[in-house]
Structure 1
Amino acid sequence: MAEQPTEKFWKMIEDFDACMVTTRDGGKLRSRPMAPRVSRERSEILFITDRNSHKVDEVDADNQVACTFTSKNEYVAVSGTASVTQDRARIDEIWDAQVEAWMPQGKDSPDVAVLVIRPTQAEIWDVTSNKLTQAYEFAKAYLGDKPQPDTTENVKVRL
């Protein structure tokens, strides 16, 4: 039985160490790399942040956000809404040594917060074919047998 798109989405993003988070800064879009933590139970993507950062102000002004996850063969684009919380239990849940390196003041600092993203939709591109199949597909497209190579699974997911 094929994996359901929603399950595939959550499984894929759990494997990423970083993603680009995009907010709206007035009339401009602004992206920055962040380290995601995934809560499948609550259908959320979580990030530790400084409550005094620009992204917190940007989310307060416009809660629409995007996250872009990329690796060698997998790509995920996420749209959703964001909020910021300083709930100590949420901070404890995702705090680890990597976060400590970025937030040396420690998890009990009053400046530590969690950026919570609730995805509403996603699009997945997963290069599923092996190198031999990819070469064959590119050759067929080059020779005019097909309009473009078929090497990637592309799925839109409503969350």
Structure 2
Amino acid sequence: MKNLSNKEAVEKLRDLATDIDFAILSTNLGQAKFDATPMSTKKVDDEGNIWFLSGKKSNHYNYIKEDNKVALMYSKPGNMSFMNVFGKAEIVSEQSVISELYGTGDDMWFDGENDPNICALKITPDEAEYWEPKQNKLISFFKFGIATIKGEQPDLSQHGHITV
């Protein structure tokens, strides 16, 4: 288990969040039926904050207004890369921030960057955990095959804890 903090932590967080891109944003965490919504990562800033665009009419928007504790679950099974992030969400309505994050792909969800329904979500991580392969996929499959033949446990991934 590797423990990362400070600049190294922000870089690992940025690398994984931007490479995986899509995350499940979970809100209403204190309830048995929490809310989970797929989101596309817009950026990870120099402080390690993760940014998304969101709609003000969404369930998670209302849950964040009540309780800002959130979890993000990133998963890219094809690469065997995963990350869980626990932190606090902040709703940001500044047009300059929305304009910076907005891309043409967002037209699918919003009526342009000036849509009155749009806002940005700033997720400030408290901590995160990640799992990723130690080597590329081909080497990992080869090592898995060898370990299977030998009846051994393969050592394919690394696990780490991130404190931002």
Answer whether TM exceeds 0.5 for this pair: yes
User: Which segment is superposed worse, 69-78 or 125-134?
Assistant: 125-134
Q: Does the aligned pair in 2 maintain the 1:25–1:58 contact within 8 Å?
A: no
Q: Does the aligned pair in 2 maintain the 1:76–1:122 contact within 8 Å?
A: yes
> TM-score by structure 1 length?
0.84
Asked if 1:57 corresponds to 2:34, the answer is no
Q: Does the aligned pair in 1 maintain the 2:10–2:48 contact within 8 Å?
A: no
Tell me the residue number matched to 1:67: 72
Tell me the residue number matched to 1:78: 85
User: Which segment is superposed worse, 70-79 or 34-43?
Assistant: 34-43
Taking the aligned partners of 2:15 and 2:106, their CA distance within structure 1 comes to 22
Tell me the residue number matched to 1:113: 119
Structure 1 segments, 4+ long, off by >6 Å, are: none
Asked if 1:4 corresponds to 2:11, the answer is no
> TM-score by structure 2 length?
0.82
- More helix by percentage: 2
Q: Does the aligned pair in 2 maintain the 1:5–1:155 contact within 8 Å?
A: no
Q: Does the aligned pair in 1 maintain the 2:29–2:70 contact within 8 Å?
A: no
Amino acid at match of 2:88: T
Q: Does the aligned pair in 2 maintain the 1:78–1:119 contact within 8 Å?
A: yes
- Gap change, CA 1:133 and 1:11, over 3 Å in 2: closer
Secondary structure of 2:13's aligned partner:
helix
Amino acid at match of 1:102: W
Identity of aligned residues (%): 23
Please state how far the C-alpha of 1:42 moved relative to its aligned partner.
4.0
In structure 2, runs of 5+ residues without a counterpart are 1-6
Alignment of 1:14-33 (within 5 A): 14-24=18-28, 27=31, 28-33=33-38
The one of 15, 28, 36 equivalent to 2:41 is 36
Higher relative contact order (CA 8 A, sep 6+): 2
User: Which segment is superposed worse, 24-33 or 106-115?
Assistant: 24-33
Please state how far the C-alpha of 1:137 moved relative to its aligned partner.
4.5
Asked if 1:149 corresponds to 2:154, the answer is yes
Q: Does the aligned pair in 2 maintain the 1:37–1:47 contact within 8 Å?
A: yes
In structure 1, runs of 5+ residues without a counterpart are none
